Amino acid sequence: MSSMESLSLTCKIIAVTCFVGMTTCSFQFNTKNFQLYRLWDMDDRMPPFSPVSPITCKEECAMICMSDVTCAAFSHGEYVRFCMVTPESVRPYDVSISNPLPGFTHYSLYEDIGEGILPPGYRTFNISKLALRFHYYWPRNWTDARDTCASEGGRLLTLDTEEKRQLLQDLITSNKELSTTGTGLYVGGMVNGTEFYWEDGTLLANSDPLWAASPAGTGNCTILDRDKGFRLVDGDCSLEQPYICEHLHFETQSTLPSVGRQSLT
């Protein structure tokens, strides 16, 4: 069997798994469950992103997105045969600046956590109650990053255990985009008075071993620094940086919009 025949068979198997007896397209990947949301306004349009790889079918494109910890949405060209995964869902602005491309379809990807779903781009991990999203495509200052996380039902990450720090190191070093985008990502610690606190009010002591070194006092916000062994440094809150949100899915959960919840067809 040729590689093209093998790929075609793979697409058919995934499609059958997705469509038989189902009105909504659901996928399972590495024990996680996902739902898709069709972006109808973008049909037959190409957003201002670059394609990443030639892919034969939409189903395989969906699997690529699910395997990428930064992927929030994906697009597929039926005729040009390529797949595009992106860290951000398409915005209304993107529709107005997109180019016509017949056969092009777009989907937001949601992880289904049982009683609800997470916003696009969030992934759960084996650490209890932890669901993360890496924002790197549009860097923000610390305040805007905090507000973006809040708008998604979460907050900037509370990095309070070595287990979390090691997870972040593994995720960042194994992802092409995260490992080459800047040297630091904002997390949720900020100075209040003379000491650092996480957004939930927990003290981040100057002696905490998660610091790369005792805070120098030159910055009021915390940054996870790749060049400092993936440990915390204090930095200037006005700098625009990538950032990490954690979703409070154990307190509040999202639901898919009622219009547009469709299969890949």
Q: E strands of 117-194, at which residues? A: 123-124, 131-140, 154-156, 184-192
User: How many structural domains are present in the chain?
Assistant: 2
Instruction: Give the pLDDT score at 19.
Output: 43
Domain boundary among 112, 141, 176: 112
Domain boundary among 62, 78, 112: 112
**CB contact burial 141-172 (16+ within 10 A = b; e otherwise):** bbeebbebbeebbbbbbbbbeeebbebbeebb
Higher confidence at residue 58 or residue 16? 58
Q: Is the pLDDT of residue 211 over 80?
A: yes
Residues 153, 208, single domain; the answer is yes
Q: What 3-state class would DSSP assign to 117? A: strand
Examine residue 175 and state whether it is found in any structural domain, yes or no: yes
Residues 133, 241, single domain; the answer is yes
| DSSP state letters, 191-236 | EETTEEE-TTS-EE-TT-TTBSSS--SS-SEEEEEGGGTSEEEEE-
Lowest mean pLDDT among 6-10, 120-124, 177-181: 6-10
Instruction: Give the mean model confidence (pLDDT) for residues 167-175.
Output: 96
Domain boundary among 84, 112, 140: 112
Residues 67, 127, single domain; the answer is no
Q: Helices 3-19 and 58-67 meet at what angle, rounded to 10?
A: 80
Residues 19, 39, single domain; the answer is yes
Q: Is the pLDDT of residue 51 over 90?
A: no
Examine residue 55 and state whether it is found in any structural domain, yes or no: yes
Residues 61, 150, single domain; the answer is no
Structure tokens at 251: 């307190």
- The enclosing domain of 154 has a CATH number of 3.10.100.10
Residues 243, 128, single domain; the answer is yes
Residues 146, 74, single domain; the answer is no
Domain span at 28: 3-112
What does pLDDT average to over the chain? Answer: 82
Q: What is the pTM of this model?
A: 0.85
Higher confidence at residue 246 or residue 20? 246
Lowest mean pLDDT among 12-16, 105-109, 166-170, 190-194: 12-16
Residues 82, 133, single domain; the answer is no
Residues 44, 75, single domain; the answer is yes
Structure tokens at 92: 């209304």
Examine residue 253 and state whether it is found in any structural domain, yes or no: no
Examine residue 165 and state whether it is found in any structural domain, yes or no: yes
